[in-house]
């Protein structure tokens, strides 16, 4: 089936839904979601949204400086300036959409402080801010008569000149996106979605790793699709591992213990009960995430342990339960009373700072294709994301993409000469076994060799092992009927390769990329 829409949105988190709501007044929108709207990284974001709102104590320059420091001075100053200064207006937009941020008795925002921030500037809704935002946007999406939601639909490839018979390379100057081939999981058919404008908002890559806080839909689909279409992808080596995921073997994804808890006063302790952050950074538990994650990793390896502890037992029990009701309930379900017991934690893959390279309009190197949210590389995060900068980046760049797309969309024509998807192939009974095993191997390779601490030797091993899996998977893909499972496997292998290759190319320890072969050097505003 061929479907035509003015705007094709691939991904249903805060980035995709914000854009859809902003452009819906100017045309028809198709919102593609490979699971349900409820299952997105946004839903799992606990901490909150960073924005300067208390101008008596805070200002834009402080937020800009904090972002640059956290990014190890690799952040693009233009992107940082854009996000920080436009954040308050997008907070107002979220409020208009019905998002309920916690407030004090006087009506002002109840602001949190998180690692790397010099001031209290994190807006939140208890300890489930992402869920609150997701639900508010879903309600608005469902109300819109201009937005068609396609749940359980999986985007396989974006459509470019390649599908019209033209040879497309990374040097082709005019690569253009005309829509996407999308698998309807309900019927097994592959539909052709033609669009004037396409937005990629497919989220992160956490599922590439064995241990992750991301939902298992985070398989890097958009990044892999754009890379295969010869689009530009950058900074994939900068994978942020959240320092404090709840350690409970068998849980995938791992339950996140929000950074806000350390901002609240929680203390990290090793299994002997000793506080250890003073050995690693004067900012202690509020050091940037890469510092804290490596400190925990070091303590675990030094003692041969698989976790450390987060201690909040010294805080008022009632206040703790009030601020962190979901964390309290989750831990209690496992027999851990956080007001009396230490919380077992370990780092887990959490956030990708790189992705599809975009300009200040969120447009990629491929014409008519925008990327917003975690799958994009705006330059904001540089070498490391400052806590709670991701959700605000998504809405700021969704606004930029919407403005640019609305201005140009109706100048673009549909391509009616796009061929239908070739669905030849067979389904093998053993296919799922092979796919499941290969996916498990990718997770093991990435976690072992391309994790928090790397080396040239580990990266070479990852290269060799991923290469074998790539060849096997491509053969299987070419002879099989298309399925979500085989496509996701292709994507995690593609993304794993990009992380590993770009890690090999960075001959320094910088930001989230830490290698024992290149000792870290301090950097400043000039990058020196």
Pair of tokens at residue 179: 């829509």
Residue 40's pLDDT band (cuts 50, 70, 90):
low
Query: Which of the residue ranges 10-19, 245-254, 416-425 has the most confident prediction, judged by mean pLDDT?
Result: 10-19
Pair of tokens at residue 306: 């698989």
pLDDT, tens digit (0-9, with 9 covering 90-100), for 373-416: 999 999 999 999 998 899 999 999 999 999 999 999 999 999 99
Report cis status (omega within 30 of 0) of the bond before 9.
Answer: no
Three-class secondary structure of residue 382 per DSSP: coil
Whether the per-residue pLDDT at 128 is higher than 60: the answer is: yes
CA dist 502 and 194 (Å) reads 33
Indicate the pairing of strand 376-377 with strand 153-159: unpaired
Pair of tokens at residue 195: 């669009």
Domain 256-350 indexed as CATH 3.90.700.10: yes
Residue range 202-216: average pLDDT? 91
Q: Looking at residue 432, what is its pLDDT? A: 78
Whether the per-residue pLDDT at 21 is higher than 60: the answer is: yes
pLDDT, tens digit (0-9, with 9 covering 90-100), for 331-380: 999 999 999 999 999 999 999 999 999 999 999 999 999 999 999 999 99
CA dist 356 and 196 (Å) reads 20
Q: Are 29 and 20 in contact (CB under 8 A)?
A: yes
Distances 386 to 111, 467, 527 between C-alpha atoms, Å = 16, 33, 18
Residue 444's pLDDT band (cuts 50, 70, 90):
very high
Catalytic residue among 28, 262, 289, 294: 289
Q: Which residue has better confidence, 450 or 55?
A: 450
Residue range 277-298: average pLDDT? 89
Q: Looking at residue 143, what is its pLDDT? A: 93
Delimiting residues of CATH 1.20.58.100 domain(s) in the chain: 431-505
Indicate the pairing of strand 190-200 with strand 369-371: parallel
Three-class secondary structure of residue 250 per DSSP: coil
Cβ contacts of 163-169, under 8 Å, gap ≥ 24 = 163/418, 163/419, 164/415, 164/417, 164/418, 164/419, 168/229, 168/230, 169/230
Q: Which CATH class is domain 2-237+353-411?
A: alpha beta
Whether the per-residue pLDDT at 41 is higher than 60: the answer is: no
**pLDDT averaged over the chain?**
91
Q: Which of 371, 378, 512, 452 is closest to 71 using CA atoms? A: 512
pLDDT, tens digit (0-9, with 9 covering 90-100), for 151-169: 999 999 999 999 998 988 8
Residue range 495-503: average pLDDT? 96
Q: Looking at residue 285, what is its pLDDT? A: 92
Residue range 233-254: average pLDDT? 92
What does CATH list as the number for 431-505? 1.20.58.100
Residue 252's pLDDT band (cuts 50, 70, 90):
confident
- When mean pLDDT is compared across 46-50, 188-192, 289-293, the lowest value belongs to 46-50
Delimiting residues of CATH 3.90.700.10 domain(s) in the chain: 256-350
Q: Which of 193, 234, 168, 271 is closest to 33 using CA atoms? A: 193
Delimiting residues of CATH 3.50.50.60 domain(s) in the chain: 2-237+353-411
- Which run of H or E residues covers position 198? strand 190-200
Active-site residue, 289 included: yes
Beta bridge partners of residue 194, listed in sequence order: 4, 179
Q: Which of 211, 215, 219 is closest to 297 using CA atoms? A: 211
């Amino acid at each position: 089936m061929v479907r035509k829409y003015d705007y094709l949105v691939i991904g249903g988190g805060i980035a995709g839904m914000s854009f859809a709501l902003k452009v819906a007044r100017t045309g028809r929108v198709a919102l593609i979601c490979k699971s349900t709207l409820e299952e997105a990284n946004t839903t799992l974001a606990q901490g909150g949204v960073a924005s300067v709102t208390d101008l008596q104590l805070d200002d834009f320059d402080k937020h800009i400086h904090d972002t640059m420091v956290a990014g190890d001075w690799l952040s693009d100053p233009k992107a940082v300036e854009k996000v920080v200064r436009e954040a308050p207006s997008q907070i107002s937009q979220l409020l208009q959409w019905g998002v309920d941020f916690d407030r004090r008795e006087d009506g002002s925002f109840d602001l949190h402080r998180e690692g790397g921030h010099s001031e209290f500037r994190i807006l939140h809704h208890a300890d489930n801010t992402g869920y609150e935002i997701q639900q508010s946007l879903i309600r608005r999406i469902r109300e819109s008569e201009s937005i068609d939601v396609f749940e359980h639909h999986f985007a396989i490839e974006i459509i470019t000149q390649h599908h019209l018979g033209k040879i497309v390379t990374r040097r082709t100057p005019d690569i253009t996106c005309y829509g996407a081939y999308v698998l309807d999981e309900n019927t097994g058919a592959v539909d052709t979605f033609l669009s004037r404008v396409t937005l990629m908002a497919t989220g992160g890559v956490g599922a590439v790793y064995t241990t992750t806080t991301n939902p298992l839909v985070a398989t890097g689909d958009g990044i892999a699709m754009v890379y295969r279409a010869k689009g530009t992808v950058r900074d994939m080596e900068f994978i942020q591992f959240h320092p404090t995921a709840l350690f409970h073997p068998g849980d995938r994804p791992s339950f996140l213990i929000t950074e806000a808890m350390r901002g609240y006063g929680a203390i990290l302790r090793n299994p002997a009960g000793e506080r250890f952050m003073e050995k690693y950074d004067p900012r202690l538990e509020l050091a940037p995430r890469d510092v804290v994650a490596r400190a925990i990793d070091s303590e675990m390896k030094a003692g041969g342990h698989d976790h450390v502890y987060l201690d909040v037992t010294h805080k008022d029990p009632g206040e703790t339960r009030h601020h962190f009701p979901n964390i309290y309930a989750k831990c209690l379900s496992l027999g851990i009373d956080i007001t009396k017991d230490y919380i077992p934690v370990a780092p887990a893959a959490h956030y990708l700072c790189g992705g599809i390279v975009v300009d200040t309009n969120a447009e990629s190197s491929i014409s008519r294709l925008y990327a917003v949210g975690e799958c994009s590389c705006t330059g904001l995060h540089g070498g490391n994301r400052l806590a709670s900068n991701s959700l605000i980046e998504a809405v700021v760049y969704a606004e930029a993409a919407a403005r640019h797309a609305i201005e140009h969309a109706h100048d673009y024509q549909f391509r009616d000469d796009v061929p239908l998807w070739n669905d030849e192939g067979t389904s093998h009974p053993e296919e799922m076994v092979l796919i499941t095993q290969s996916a498990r191997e990718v997770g093991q390779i990435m976690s072992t060799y391309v994790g928090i601490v790397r080396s040239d030797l580990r990266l070479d091993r990852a290269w060799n092992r991923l290469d074998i899996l790539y060849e096997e998977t491509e053969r299987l893909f070419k002879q099989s009927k298309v399925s979500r499972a085989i496509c996701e496997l292709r994507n995690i292998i593609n993304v794993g390769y990009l992380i590993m290759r770009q890690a090999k190319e960075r001959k320094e320890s910088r930001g989230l990329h830490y290698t024992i072969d290149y000792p870290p050097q301090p950097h400043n505003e000039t990058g020196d």
